[in-house]
Amino acid sequence: MLNLKDQSLLRDSGYIAGEWVGADSGKQFDVFNPATGEKITSVPDMGGADARRAIDAAESAWAEWRAMPARKRSKLLRAWHDLIKANAEDLALIMTSEQGKPSKEAFGEILQGASFVEWFAEEAKRIEGDIIVPAANDRREFVLKQPVGVVAAITPWNFPSSMITRKISPALAAGCPVVLKPAEDTPLSALALAELAHRAGFPKGVISILPASHGAEVGAEFTSNAKVRKLSFTGSTEVGKLLMRQSADTVKKVSLELGGNAPFIVFDDADIKAALSGAMTMKFINAGQTCICANRILVQDGIYDKFVEQMQQAVANLNPGHGVEEGVNMGPLINQKALDKVEGLVADAVDQGAKVVHGGKRHALGQTFYEPTVLTEVSTDMKVFSNEIFGPVAGLYRFSSEEEAVKLANDTPYGLAAYFYTQDMGRLWRVGEALEYGMVGANEARFTNEIMPFGGMKESGIGREGSKYGIEEYLEAKYLCLGGI
């Protein structure tokens, strides 16, 4: 049993139509702590029948929810926000226990997740259309913004709280009910948020949470059910493409936040201290398990050796361990499959000539811990260049010119996030505009917040989350012409 102040936040049931329920099949699956291997609890293993039931409940709730005044929807979101903040310590402990990230990181994610709820509570009152200058004097022409309908959402395990609020909050603000399937590794954070939404007073059917150990059956129902008018997914590009194909038959509106292969460019004229700090943050946060992690660190020849030396020293100060322990600043990988992948990528790089200057193997802590690792002399023909690492492995590449750096950075089918450091004002504009990414940090690595549009280009996805643009993903623009004036 987790040492929570409020034990009722640790739920072991699904949430459909305002009720805590088991799976129709009666099946369950276990949730484990990746740092210790210990079982936390068991939750219902929901499938297609459960998804249909939740979708039907959402469809039934939609008419009342979309007709509710925006100010009232806003108040419910605000109440949910306040409950999340009031229970932040317990929510962080749940997250650390099922996902592994250090307590400080988990607490920060809870607060960031709450910020999305707060932001869209306000945006609910700012959904505005347009009055168009009429084409003739006998008519009046308008554009109305209306909710798209029932939303199905699928979220990942690496940010099991903020990814949920970033999807649910704008949907609810727009007037759409939501059915959500959280990642199988981290359902407890989602269920805790559902408990707080229940306390906040959301009507039955407006929010449903479906834990499932194998998402294909639930995903197939989401994509094939005509009552679902919008699908929002965060996860791998491979699965995103599949869901997009499956959604084509019912022509759903889709938002996809998919894989990344973020370059982190350090030019000769950069503030090395600032660049190193940014690289350490964006490489090792969440043990490297984020879609916007610095996947390829490109360092210009003139400072390459100096940067390697300083990064090696900084990485040596990292302290992996169980996230609830004092002083730990890096947790484990999520599961054995993730550990095997990282191990394979490092082995491939070493076989092709990369040098391990720190780490490079499984950690003595056991379980799914991997040593924070620095690889030098990495080249473009190694798998670490083209694959999303999703682990604590920093691969450093040399480059000579600005043109070469931009070419290397853009040499990927992905386009989610990119970072670069320079003190040249002209280069700030040139490189910032040349990088083919949806989000670019220039001399700044920590840029995620509720006011920015989060999303990518190319095979990194479709649509934006957060910001004033995020609510547009859940709205339809309707043209209305009034004749006979």
Of the residues 226, 258, 290, the one at which a domain ends: 258
Residue 210: both structure tokens together: 């479906």
Q: What is the model's pLDDT at position 45?
A: 98
Residue 68: both structure tokens together: 């509710």
Strand partners, 457: 415
pLDDT (mean) for 73-90: 98
Residue 224 lies in a domain: yes
Containing 475, the helix (H) or strand (E) segment is: strand 475-483
Q: For the segment 350-399, what is each residue's pLDDT rounded down to a tens digit?
A: 999 999 999 999 999 999 999 999 999 999 999 999 999 999 999 999 99
Residue 19 lies in a domain: yes
CB-based contact 396:379 (threshold 8 Å): no
Residue 466 lies in a domain: no
Q: Are residues 199 and 295 in the same domain?
A: no
Q: What is the model's pLDDT at position 331?
A: 98
CB-based contact 463:256 (threshold 8 Å): yes
Residue 1 has pLDDT above 90, yes or no: no
Residue 476: both structure tokens together: 């339809």
Q: Are residues 174 and 309 in the same domain?
A: no
CA distance 123 to 81: 14
Q: State yes or no: is 291 an active-site residue.
A: yes
Q: Are residues 345 and 389 in the same domain?
A: yes
pLDDT (mean) for 446-461: 96
User: Which residue type is seen at 6?
Assistant: D
Query: Cβ contacts of residue 124 below 8 Å, gap of 6+?
Result: 70, 71, 73, 74, 77, 172, 173, 174
**List 109, 195, 291, 459, catalytic entry:** 291
pLDDT (mean) for 324-347: 97
Q: Are residues 253 and 314 in the same domain?
A: no
3-state secondary structure of 365: coil
pLDDT (mean) for 44-55: 98
DSSP label at 33?
-
Q: Are residues 159 and 47 in the same domain?
A: yes
Q: Are residues 100 and 32 in the same domain?
A: yes
Residue 435 has pLDDT above 90, yes or no: yes
For residue 266, which of 274, 258, 257, 275 has the smallest C-alpha distance?
Answer: 275
Residue 474 lies in a domain: no
What's the maximum distance between 2 C-alpha atoms anywhere in the chain? 79
Q: For the segment 425-434, what is each residue's pLDDT rounded down to a tens digit?
A: 999 999 999 9
pLDDT (mean) for 286-309: 98
Q: Are residues 198 and 344 in the same domain?
A: no
Report the number of distinct structural domains present in the chain.
2
Residue 427 lies in a domain: yes
Q: How confident is the model at residue 278 (pLDDT cuts 50, 70, 90)?
A: very high
pTM: 0.96
Q: In CATH, what number is assigned to the domain containing residue 440?
A: 3.40.309.10
Q: For the segment 19-37, what is each residue's pLDDT rounded down to a tens digit?
A: 999 999 999 999 999 999 9
Q: Are residues 200 and 142 in the same domain?
A: yes
**List 105, 195, 257, 402, catalytic entry:** 257
Residue 107: both structure tokens together: 């607490």
Q: How confident is the model at residue 108 (pLDDT cuts 50, 70, 90)?
A: very high
Q: Are residues 272 and 145 in the same domain?
A: no
CA distance 68 to 474: 16
Q: For the segment 142-183, what is each residue's pLDDT rounded down to a tens digit?
A: 999 999 999 999 999 999 999 999 999 999 999 999 999 999
Residue 483 lies in a domain: no
Residue 89 to residues 139, 165, 203, 324, 395, Cα–Cα distance (Å): 57, 17, 26, 12, 35
Q: In CATH, what number is assigned to the domain containing residue 217?
A: 3.40.605.10
Residue 80 lies in a domain: yes
Pairing between β-strand 150-154 and β-strand 178-181 as defined by DSSP bridges: parallel
**Mean per-residue pLDDT of the chain:** 97
Buried b (16+ CB within 10 A) or exposed e, 216-246: ebbbbbbbebebbbbbbbbbebebbebbbeb
Residue 440 has pLDDT above 80, yes or no: yes
Residue 96 has pLDDT above 90, yes or no: yes
Residue 477 lies in a domain: no
Q: How confident is the model at residue 186 (pLDDT cuts 50, 70, 90)?
A: very high
Residue 163 to residues 38, 58, 80, 107, 271, Cα–Cα distance (Å): 25, 20, 16, 14, 32
Q: Are residues 103 and 60 in the same domain?
A: yes
Q: Which domain holds residue 320?
A: 262-448
Q: Are residues 247 and 274 in the same domain?
A: no
Q: What angle do CA 188, 191, 194 make, to 5 degrees?
A: 155
Residue 168: both structure tokens together: 């649910």
Q: Are residues 65 and 206 in the same domain?
A: yes
- 484 phi and psi angles, rounded to 5 deg: 70, 30
Residue 68 to residues 208, 224, 255, 410, 436, Cα–Cα distance (Å): 19, 28, 25, 46, 41
Q: State yes or no: is 293 an active-site residue.
A: no
- 433 phi and psi angles, rounded to 5 deg: -80, -30
Q: How many CB atoms lie within 10 A of CB 56?
A: 17
Q: What is the model's pLDDT at position 143?
A: 98
